[in-house]
Structure 1
Amino acid sequence: MKHWSPAIKAFLAIFIFYEVLGWLFVGSFERIDQLQLINGNNSSLADLAFQALTATAEVVLPVLLLVYLFRFQKAYALPYVYSYALSTGLIQGLKHLVFTDALRPLAFFAGSGVKWHLIPGLLISEYNSMPSGHTGAAFFMFFWVAVLLRRWFWGALAGLMAVGVAYSRVYLFQHFPVDTLVGAAIGVGSSALFYSIHYAKSSSK
């Protein structure tokens, strides 16, 4: 496992910690309690911060990273593309073919009578909750950021950024915690798979 740099190991440690803690959280509280604990603890500063974090997983930054790879780190460009395609394909397939009836919090809690914190002007989706595409994209992308930066500190920071995106999806009332846990696992699994294949091919030459 010589090709697993300190940054990747730190990133994966953050990911594993997030998954373990997340599943314990999901198993310990009802869905309404999960959302009240996260969405209910809000502020105007958090509104801005979590909208900004969510935006890191949207199309622009992953595409900019791809352009950077093709320009400066061509060896990683195709594994990056393949992992992006696999992660996106799995998530969209699960959303539209398997978990077709999975409601997002806005629709799921429509009759609960709870006054949720919704940010004015923010579009809140109601369907295709499982799994979280933004979270999958964040963990996929920040895995490759860790690959590029190599030092453990930057890998840990990349992991924390990805976790921040996952948390933002629940805070913004777009997903349940379980949606983000599954999305994160798909994003990391896809990237780790093609990163390992890349190095297996390089070692065999």
Structure 2
Amino acid sequence: MNHVHTYQGSFSTFLKQFSLFVSLLIGFQALGLTLFAFYSQADLFLMINRLHHNDADQFFMYLTHLGDWPVTALLAFFFLFVNYRYALVLVANMLYTGFFTQLIKIIVQHPRPAVYFQHLEPIYTIKDYALQNSLSFPSGHTTCVFSLAISLSYLFLAQRKQPWLFLMALTVSISRVYLAQHFFKDLLAGSFIGTFFALHLLWLFERTQWFHAKQLDSNLLRRFKSNNSVKS
């Protein structure tokens, strides 16, 4: 019986593998908290909301879908044909971070910008683009896309790719304010949950034997070929 080597380091040590991503996130969080020292959530929202352009409208309407859970689910389905462990990481992180996000949403019950501003002042909205009305805090799209970015960083451990994955996640999260779906503080919370909760789950996985089992190194194509060879 082969001995399975599990990760025995602390969570802080595990984080060092993602030092670039985590450093960029801390910088984003620090910037956000600094802005809140000078501006209200309404002011920060309006600063972005007033920067509209027709081309940017189209760009962000498409880009924001990277934060939809079906995108992560579709990637996980693709990875079933590559490596079961890869698919598991994507789905597990999506569900784990999504659970805490939805729980906080239900507890906080914060209105979306469309409701918050309806009796204050008009805000820019894109024609025929549906706006959500409730459960604004935190941003689910932001949580999901940051969880996805961390999952991809983990699967393809390469420090040089982490800044690009962070930039992708950050741009998707900014689209949520641009599209008048969220406040800036929703992005701060979502990015924190999506990053650190995903890393925490990966750390827990790394410490278990079943996560390192050889069965998870297989894929659907290999199993299909194996079944056909047995039948023949």
TM-score scaled to structure 1, two decimals?
A: 0.88
Structure 1 segment 41-52 matched on structure 2, within 5 A: 41-52=51-62
- Cα deviation code 1:26-64 (max 9, x no counterpart): 232012211121111111122122222211111332012
- Contact 1:10/1:159, CA 8 A, preserved across alignment: no
| Aligned partner of 1:107 among 107, 112, 115 | 115
Equivalents in 1 of 2:15, 2:188: separation in Å?
26
Q: 2:20 matched to which residue of 1?
A: 10
Structure 1, gaps ≥5 residues long? none
Using the TM superposition, give the Cα deviation of residue 147 of structure 1 relative to its aligned residue in structure 2, in angstroms: 1.7
Equivalents in 2 of 1:204, 1:165: separation in Å?
32
- Cα deviation code 1:145-171 (max 9, x no counterpart): 112332223211110111111111111
| Aligned partner of 1:179 among 186, 202, 209 | 186
Q: 2:127 matched to which residue of 1?
A: 120
Equivalents in 2 of 1:72, 1:18: separation in Å?
34
Question: Which structure is higher in RCO with an 8 Å CA cutoff and minimum separation 6?
Answer: 1
Q: Structure 1 residues 157 and 74, CA, compared in 2 at 3 Å: closer, same or farther?
A: same
- Cα deviation code 1:81-109 (max 9, x no counterpart): 3322221111111112x112x11111111
Q: 1:29 matched to which residue of 2?
A: 39
RMSD across aligned positions (CA): 2.2
Structure 2, gaps ≥5 residues long? 1-12, 214-232
Q: Structure 1 residues 34 and 2, CA, compared in 2 at 3 Å: closer, same or farther?
A: closer
Q: 1:147 matched to which residue of 2?
A: 154
Deviates more, 1:103-112 or 1:194-203: 194-203
Larger C-alpha radius of gyration, 1 or 2? Answer: 2
